[in-house]
Amino acid sequence: MAVHVWIWLVFLPLTDAVWPLPQKITYSSHSYLVSPRLFRFQYARESASQPGCSVLDLAFVRYFRITFPGSSVTDSDQKYSPSHVDALQVITADSDCDGYPILESSEDYMLEINEGISTLSADTVWGALRGLETFSQLVYRTDDGSYYINKSSIVDFPRFHHRGLLLDTSRHYLPLKAIFETLDAMAYNKFNVFHWHIVDDPSFPYESYTFPDLSRKGAYHPQTHVYTFHDVMKVIEYGRLWGIRVIPEFDTPGHTASWGKGQPDLLTPCYRKTEPSGKYGPVNPIMNSTYSFMTQIFKEVSTVFPDSFIHLGGDEVDFTCWKSNPDIQNFMKQQGFGTDYRKLESFYIEKLLDIVSRYGKNYIVWQEVFDNKVKVKPDTVIHVWKGTSSQYNVSLANITGAGLKALLSAPWYLNVISYGQDWRNAYEVEPIHFNGTAKQKKLVIGGEACMWGEYVDTTNLTPRLWPRAGAVAERLWSHASVRNVSDAYIRLSEFRCQLLRRGIRAQPLFTGYCDHEYERD
């Protein structure tokens, strides 16, 4: 499944559509009964994955419950249709059931729905997970309580490898239950990256075993509002079982006020004229102790988080405090930086990138690192978050023109809300609509929806995210030609009802109702 050239052809009743829309789907009006009493997921004899595969064994259990929620179908269900789908057999070419998904992991799958035994084929267990999600959405329940699925043929794969969602757990602490629920909904939408913006200025909830004072003194509460080592392991494993990578972000040198509470001398003392003001600014980039600390903390982070990428931030560095500090002024003169504090920022970032590289990690940074001309390694990923469409398209053109990979988030800040159907704005974005060569556009590896936490906690996280984030999910998964907003509205409204049936408190797109409302048993 390495090369894909398809004629876009869809025969699909909108009310039964899959979200996000597959690359190629042929859908028949011929239906088969699917009896929860008889149906089973099973491994095909020729599958590389077999019973004992943790990812698929658990997925079979989950998806049976998702596909047949609270069912109590009796023998009488068989009289409604002589044709049945009694099993979905899964075939994978790769048996890596205990590993972690990576950027290059195949998520391709083929799904054939036929009478008797249907077949799901995939290169990897991660592709099989995506196919199981599609299968679960194809099964529908009639008014008499019976379950059916239509004869179908699907060939599917993602348009972009990196399809992420950022959660901010510093500005408001999100308990594990909220994170797990978000990972569930991400999998239903075929997102595959959880960007965990775990710490920031307001609080440091990550409980470091190397520097325990960071959370003891920097978290909102050192017992109730922290993520222990075991908590982090639970999130990583939960994500793995859904085929979701967990990429942590430890943003420096700015956004570090909470770091300084538990790590003396890390932050820059600010001055008022010739005297310290008592306030502190970004990380102090001229101290050897700073780099000793960063070496140790990122050694720990690299050990705890198995993904090959770490997000290192690098955005919104306020130079005011650096400019006020006489020691930094003298350092600037010694280094020949003049009064260009972007050079000082570059000095720090380059040292940090060298540190992280020692641990075999790749890194993602916010676009200021590129804008400020920091020397980065060729495999660096630049995360674009600033500007209008014309501005971020220029940024994408410049970044990819320099031969660097890019991620797009600028148009997908879902924490920003407005009256009306603002999901449409997210849906109409085209990630590679910039002036550049085909080679440049291949360097855009995907994008992320962002949910920053200034005004978001567990009370409004889920309805603010869903189904709006689904607009981003389809843009990053489906073919570029899938752009009809009217069609998407009908399908997304139906998918929103599916989310409600699965216990996700997704807000309505507009007026109307779902057969199963969230509060109904």
Q: Is residue 216 within 8 Å of 186, Cβ to Cβ?
A: no
Q: What is the pLDDT of residue 9?
A: 40
| Digit-coded pLDDT (tens) for 418-470 | 999 999 999 999 999 999 999 999 999 999 999 999 999 999 999 999 999 99
φ/ψ of residue 356, rounded to 5: -65, -35
Per residue in 160-197, pLDDT (tens digit) is 999 999 999 999 999 999 999 999 999 999 999 999 99
Tell me the HSE value of 282 on the side-chain side, using a 13 A CA sphere: 25
CA distance 301 to 214: 14
> How far is 64 from 182, CA to CA, in rounded Å?
20
Is 430 among the residues known to form the active site?
A: no
Residue 78 has pLDDT above 70, yes or no: no
Please identify which of the residues 112, 133, 275, 316 carries the catalytic annotation: 316
3-class DSSP state of 468: helix
Distance CA 473, CA 187 (A): 10
DSSP β-bridge partners for residue 444: 406
Residue 365: enclosing H or E segment and its boundaries? strand 362-366
Q: The tokens of 504 are what?
A: 């996700």
The region of weakest confidence among 179-183, 220-224, 514-518 is 514-518
**E-strand spans in 123-216?**
140-141, 147-156, 162-168, 193-197
pLDDT of residue 306: 98
Q: What residues have CB less than 8 Å from 509, skipping those under 6 apart?
A: 421, 423, 467, 489, 492, 493, 496
Rounded CA separation 259/267 (Å): 8
Q: Please, is 321 exposed, middle or buried when counting C-beta atoms within 10 Å of its C-beta (0-12, 13-18, 19+)?
A: buried
